[in-house]
Every structure is written in C-alpha cells, then in structure tokens.
A and B are shown apart, each in its own frame.
Chain A
Amino acid sequence: MIKEYIENWSGEVNTLVIGATPEEGGSRRFSVKIGGERTLPFLFKEALLPFKPVIAYEIWDIEPIDWATALSKYYGDVWGNTLEWADKLIREYKAELLCLKLAGAHPEIGKDLDEIVKLLEGLLKKVDIPLIIIGCGDVQRDNFILPLCSQILKNERCLIGEVNQDNYKTLTAAVLADGHSIIAQSPIDINIAKQLNILISDMGLPLERIVINPTVGALGYGLEYTYSIMERLRLAALNNDRVVASPFICFVGQESWRVKEATTPEKEFSRWGSEWRRGYLWELITAGALLQAGANILVMRHPKAIEKIKEYIDKLYEFKIN
C-alpha cells in the first residue's frame, strides 16, 4: 500500500490586499488578493492555495527609451504618455495590476516634483485598478518622493517600495500612516530579508503589510540563487516563522530584458535562434521558474508573455477545482 506523504505545515503565508474599493475608502474598481498559501506552489492536494499568483504590468513615468524593440512593437506608441500607456494596458491587454516605476525622479533625469504629483493625481482619476509604486532607486530621492506618493495615494491601499536595510525608516512611517503596504528589498539573502522584516515591523507596520522582493536574477544570471532563497523563505513561512511569511514580488521583466540573451539579434548568434521569440521566452521561463519557488506578484513587460503565464497559471489551477 502506498500512502501519500502529506506534510502538515504549521504556518501559512500572510494574505495581503492591494487596492481599496469605494466601500473600503478607496477608488479602485476591485482589489487583488495575494498570499494565503498553506503549502508549496501548486500542491493543491496537500493544502489550501487560495489565491492565484498575479501579474503586474510595469509602466514608467517617462519614456523607457532603452526597452527592447520586441516590446515596443506591442505598445511603444503609448510609452511617451504614462496615462495612455496605462489605459492601453487595461483596455487591450486586460491588465489587473499596474506597477508604476518613477524612473524620472532619478537625480540624473531630474523630473520635477510637480510633474510626479500631477502624474499620480491623473493616474488616480484615469485608472481604476490597484497600483504598485516603485521609486527610482536613488535612496535619497526615493526617501523624499515616495512618502509624498504615499500621501497622495492615501487610503488606496497601494504597494509602495522599495526599502532596504539602510533606508527603511522614512517610507515605513509614511506607508503606516497612509494605509499602504511596503516592499522590502534584500540582496538575495535570506537573513537580510528576515532582518529587514523585523526592523520594519519593529517600527509598527504589521508583518501582514510587507511584501518581500528577494531580488531576481534572470534566467542564466543567478536565477537559481533567487529560486533557492525564495524556496527557503517559503519553507520557513510554512513552518510557522511569522517573520518571513510575506508574499514575494519578483521584478521579472526588468531583469530578463536586461540580459544579452533576450535581445541580441539572431545575426550575431545564429545558433540562438530568433531574438523575438528568445526575448519573449527569457521573460517567460524566468517567470515560470519563480512561480515554482513561490512567487506571488510577477512584474512583467511582454504582453504576450504575460498572457501566456496567466494561461499557464489557470491551467494549473484547473486542478484545484477538480
């Protein structure tokens, strides 16, 4: 007699909501729920996996001039205007979650504060789906801009980031006051991820409002490190380590479109095949692998890759219904 080996996990991943509907004091048409897993990815027979992983479309506040042609041919026409860009994603590509990166706020680009404020206000009106807001990556600038964004978006229950060990204080305080959740970024290191969550929650922000960005390495560029760190964090969460029971956000698009395998033309490496399919697959495989490690939010770029990964998730979740 073969008896199935069922793990009785004692913990679960925190459930986190992005977006607040009018009833909840916000202006989003719906909200997105993530987390809540009580077992490892897709082991439906073992325990509850209440919410599907979600995909967020990455958009920028400025035109992303260095994004690949493989992407621009789908929606490059609207990159010059963030609001139109968002609108197109929602209408044509059925986006349910947007991740706005305030790349223009970087000191090297030096976009005006007024413009950022105006953009956010416009976005709030034009777009009615849940939002993720990401800073420009310059610590000082982000510490200045992001609390402001937090205030403008007050009560919309956004996900805002990112913070790391050295700059978590300012944004944590802002996010706590304005009812958002925070993205805690750690450099592919399980201990730093844990430590950061402790430091943030020691400031009073509940652990339930933290999403971990474990830092993604793209396929062929350290993917396995991210994979194992996520797997380990998830195992710790399932073994009831509350400190790390946070959902994961993975910046798949940004990382996979950066590597040479995604964009180098076929004529340079004929063996690699067409760059159109290759770039698309690089993002797709990176996303697929991270789902196996427990990713909850995938921030992606290629509309077709997003469509396909959703189809894949749906296919796996069919089993849940049966």
Chain B
Amino acid sequence: MALSGLEIYKLLPKTNCRECGFSTCLAFAMQLAKKAVALDKCPFLTEESKKILEELNLPAIKLITIGKNDQRVQIGNENVLFRHEERFYNPPGIGIIINDDLAQTEVLNIIRKIKDLEFERIGQRLKIELLAIRNRSSEENFLKTIDLVVHNTSFALVLMCEEPRRVKKVLELYKDLRPLIYRITPDNFLQFSQLLKGDNVPVVVWSEDLEGISYLTQQLNRNQINELVLEVSNKSPAFALWQLTQIRRLSLKKKERSLGYPVLVLIENQDKDLSLLFTVSYIAKYAGIILLDTFSPEDIFGILTLRQNIYTDPQKPLQIEPKLYSIGSVNTYSPVLVTTNFSLTYYTVLGEVEASRVPSYILSVNTEGMSVLTAWAAEKFTPESIIEAIEKSELKKFVNHNRIIIPGYVAMMSGDLQEKSGWQVIVGPREAAGIPRFLRDL
C-alpha cells in the first residue's frame, strides 16, 4: 500500500527547514507520495524512516530493459489497472517474428519492409521496436539469421529458442545486445536456470497457469535470474485477458512479487483480422510485449496508433487542434471568435455559436489546453499567441473584414492586441452563455 502525504509527513523531521526546496515538510511529503521528488533531498531523515520510505518506492511490476542504447525497449513499472487512475507508463513493445528457415533474400526482404514501418502522428514517431528471430531449423541457420538481422538492423531482439544449450551459444555472441530470451518452460527451466545464472539477460517464462508461472519465477530468482517477462498464451483470448488481468491485479493489489513482471503475448497462425483484434485487446489490457507474424503497413499503423492513444497521459488536459473552425454556412462577412484550444472551452463556445444560428468562425489558439483565464494568467493566451494563430490559420483569406472577437474575460488585452495585430478587436461577453445574444446584436 502506498502511503499518503500525511502518513509520510509523520516520518519526516517536521522542522520546515526548507533544505529540500519545499516550504514545509508537508509539501515535501506530498511530493514524495506522488513519487515526484527523491527521498535524499531531505538531509535530516532518520535511518528508520528512510528504510520504510525506500521500501515503498519499489515498483510492483519490475522494469525490464531489452536491447541497448537508444534502441532499447523498457517495459513494466506500471502502477495502475486503469489509465485514468494515473497513466500507463511504458507502452508494450511491438515485435515482428522472423523464422530462421527462410532464405537469406527473403529475410532481407522482410527487414526492408519492416524498416518502412514508421509513421508520424501528432509530433511523435511511431515504430515497432522489436524483431523476434525464431529457431525452427538448425542451430546454424538460427545463428546465420541472427547475424543477418544484427548486421542489417538495430532493433532490439527477441531470440526464440527453447533449447538451453543453443541459447547459451547464441548468448556467447550476442549477450552484449541484451536480447530477450524466449523462453523458459516447466520442461527446460532446470537447465536454463543453471545456464543463465549470472548472465543477467531478460528471459521469458511460460507455464500453463499462474501457479506454474509463480513457481518458476521463484525458482529462477533463487538462481539470481531476475530479469523476467511472463508469457500468457493467446490460445483462448478471453482466458489470456483473464490471466493478464490477474497478473496485473495480483502484482499491484496483493504485491505478489512472483508475478510482478511485464507480460508477453505471442499472436500467430490465425485469421489476420482476428489477430489484429486480439492485439487491440492486449494493448488495452496490460500486455508488455506483443509479437506478431504480420508486417502489413495498415495493420501496424493501426496498432501503433492505438498504442499511442492508450498510453497518452490522461492527466494532461483535453486539447483540440488549434486552428480556424467554421460553424454553419460561413461567408467572408462571418464574425470570428477567438478562444483557447482547451476542448471544454472550445466546445462550450461552439455550442453557443451553434445555438445562436449565426454562421461564425472560431479561431482556437494554442494555449496548451488551458482555459481562457488560466491561459491568460499563465501567459499562454496573449496578443502574441493570438497573432500567431491568425497568421497560421491564414484568417485573412477567409474573411474580408478585420474584426476579431475576444472573450470578455481578456478585455484587458484588447488595446494591446489591436495595436500589435492591426485587427480591430471587439470584446465579447465574459460567459459563453452570452454569445448568442452578442452575435445577434453584432
């Protein structure tokens, strides 16, 4: 259980000395509760308090790193069951499976296509981050395919082979790349736990049920094999959802350490569209890695977009795209109302403009999602930002008058804005409710 700010406060010196940079011990405690500040900022903490607080900071789901440097994938370290409670932090790594029984040219062909799977959405680059090489033929082919992939790409790797000796051999060559080893099962775990001892590479653990998984992880922990990823099977998707939910619930709510790892799901050999829908479910519900056997761009584009959506921080305010919106059948004489890009503000204004039945333009200014007064107070809604929006939207092309209407709450800036922008500034009503009357009287 996480401690509240008040409970943490009781463990602090309560001297309000301000060494930590906060004005009171309570303020510091509240930040500690949110994990927004490091414990060592307080120089006067007793050893005992320190121990209690440090323990609380251990993540319930272990953070696992696969790959090296800027190509690495980090998964786990999640705090909640539902994104609205806080946020989902580390998006599931999406990987594509390449079998080692393919011809070299075919592998190269696939690699080339996979490299093309890069999309840009709202300023973020969306791409897959894992390649999984699956051993289906000889050891030699496995090594050759890995070599080919390593030399032609920089993706983080999943190496799929359940034969411990073969894995050991591969690791001798590629351990530095920190690949994810797939996988330990009840059948091979004894050998694996001997072989991987001290290697400190991440490895997937699979068993039929949670009991089995928990047993394996505990055994592996005893051999200092701690970098684990659990696997649940996609055989029955509803059961997979159940297991994913159980693992997340047990690790967060029961602090079940033996299940406190990210989870991998392998999706293959099915109807392509159903596979996609299952992937959708697992992105929504707790998967840490999803391995696919498709690389068609439409599918990957959709999946990556969904992942981006689900892993956005819900605590950031709802924003709409800052631009010029036309409401009703506007013409070049239609009035232009300026507002922020906080969606709530925008929709309120929109509703009232619609209600007025006066065709109008709404110019939404980028205020980083702040409402009129907040944005104004924080200097995000200023003559400068409004002028920028006017220019960017090419407002001049849409109207042949030079009047803009600003919210009554920012009447103060009208003179300044008029001077700097060259537009005639009309001060509108303070409350959106006054818009219909205002527009009709205009």
Contacts and interface: CB of A to CB of B under 8 A. Distances in A.
Contacts of B278: 312
A318 to B, nearest CB: 7
B250 interface: yes
A253 B236 CA distance: 28
Contacts of A114: none
Nearest to B236: A319
Interface stretch (B17-25, B30-38, B169-177, B297-305): B297-305
A209 to B, nearest CB: 26
Contact of B298 (A224, A273, A309, A312): A273
Nearest to B308: A220
B410 to A, nearest CB: 24
A281 B298 contact: yes
B249 A272 contact: no
Nearest to B300: A273
Contacts of A227: 83, 284, 309-310
Given A5-B250, A220-B305, A139 B273 contact: no
Interface stretch (A12-20, A73-81, A283-291): A283-291
A170 B310 CA distance: 38
A2 B211 contact: yes
A289 B347 CA distance: 25
A1 B309 contact: no
Interface string A165-187: 01000000000000000000001
A118 interface: no
Contacts of A293: 284
Contacts of B284: 227, 289, 292-293
Given A224-B309, A277-B298, 11 more contacts: A2-B211, A222-B318, A223-B309, A225-B314, A227-B309, A232-B82, A272-B297, A284-B273, A289-B310, A308-B277, A319-B237
Contacts of B299: 277, 281
A190 to B, nearest CB: 9
Nearest to B258: A2
A278 B306 contact: no
Nearest to A41: B241
B302 A43 contact: no
B392 interface: no
The 3 A-B residue pairs whose C-beta atoms are closest, nearest first, are A319-B238, A273-B297, A288-B280
Contact of A44 (B83, B242, B274, B343): B242
B259 interface: yes
Contacts of B318: 188, 222, 225
B397 interface: no
Given A43-B241, A187-B347, A228-B83, A311 B274 contact: yes
B84 interface: yes
Contact of B276 (A166, A223, A281, A320): A281
A316 interface: yes
Contact of B273 (A235, A271, A308, A318): A308
Interface of B: 82-84, 116-119, 121, 210-211, 214, 236-239, 241-242, 245-246, 249-250, 253-254, 256, 258-259, 271, 273-274, 276-278, 280-281, 284-285, 296-299, 301-303, 305-306, 308-310, 312, 314, 318, 329, 343-344, 347, 351, 354-355
A45 interface: yes
Interface residues of A, number: 53
Interface in A113-169: 139, 166
Main secondary structure, interface of A, reads helix
A285 B309 CA distance: 12
A153 to B, nearest CB: 28
Given A2-B214, A316-B237, A318-B238, A223 B277 contact: no
A77 B334 CA distance: 39
Contact of A1 (B211, B297, B314): B211
A60 interface: no
A23 interface: no
A86 to B, nearest CB: 26
Contacts of B253: 5
A221 to B, nearest CB: 9
30 contacts: A1-B211, A2-B259, A5-B249, A42-B238, A43-B241, A44-B238, A45-B242, A108-B329, A139-B354, A139-B355, A188-B318, A220-B305, A222-B318, A224-B312, A228-B82, A228-B83, A228-B84, A271-B119, A277-B296, A278-B301, A281-B299, A281-B302, A285-B280, A285-B302, A285-B305, A289-B284, A291-B281, A292-B284, A308-B274, A315-B237
A215 to B, nearest CB: 10
Contacts of A309: 277
B308 to A, nearest CB: 8
Given A42-B241, A278-B298, A281-B299, A289 B306 contact: yes
Interface string A296-322: 000000000000110110011111101
Contact of B301 (A2, A139, A273): A273
A188 B271 CA distance: 34
B83 A224 contact: yes
Contacts of A43: 241-242, 245
A274 interface: yes
A93 B378 CA distance: 55
Nearest to A232: B84
Contacts of A282: 302
A322 B237 CA distance: 13
